[in-house]
Amino acid sequence: MLFFACFWCYINFRLIGSVLLLFYFPLLSCYSFSIPFANLLILLFSSLPIQCSQIFIKIGFLNYSIEGLGQSPSAGFYSIILQCKEFSYSYFSLTDCLIGSIHYFTTGLHGFHVLLGSFLFFIILFYILFSSIYPFYFMEFSFSLFLSSHHWHFVDFIWFIVFLLVIY
């Protein structure tokens, strides 16, 4: 609901505020497109290893699922590094205008959710590594991986909307 409020504020300001109040919008550069687009591709392709590891866990191959559970959080942390780089190359700051505030708040909130999903995957990964003696016990505990993967897909979907609406 918070993301919806951010999107609504941005669209309202973009459609009505710019006409009535004559606010300016920051100019785009090659950095303002390439870094968020790379972030989008990284987050979209990081969902594939999670789905593969979820299938491997359902089949019972816990050893193959470790690689997928390591790749997705690593891609999440790399996405956070790219967001910090995007903030450093940005032409506007948090206090320049309303668009800057919405941009920083929305991408920061998304970054928080990426960190949360990455930590959840690392917890599941460590649980698999340390429960290799009793592999069938994890089969009953795989619901946490199911919920975490759905959270990750939601984060991907939100970044796709942020990329389309807020950034461009």
> Distance between terminal CA atoms of the chain?
21
pTM: 0.78
Q: What pLDDT is stored for residue 27 in this prediction?
A: 46
Tokens of 123: 């917890």
Task: Give me the domain span that covers residue 97.
Answer: 45-167
pLDDT digits (tens, 9 = 90+) for 105-117: 888 888 898 999 9
Q: Is residue 139 part of a domain?
A: yes
Q: Is residue 32 part of a domain?
A: no
pLDDT digits (tens, 9 = 90+) for 21-52: 445 554 444 456 788 888 889 988 888 888 88
Q: Is residue 157 part of a domain?
A: yes
Report the distance separating Cα 89 and Cα 83, nearest Å. Answer: 10
Q: Is residue 11 part of a domain?
A: no
- Total of domains in the chain: 1
Q: Is residue 75 part of a domain?
A: yes
Give me the CATH number covering residue 57. 1.20.120.80
Q: Is residue 36 part of a domain?
A: no
pLDDT digits (tens, 9 = 90+) for 135-168: 555 665 677 888 888 888 888 888 888 787 766 6
Report the distance separating Cα 164 and Cα 54, nearest Å. Answer: 29
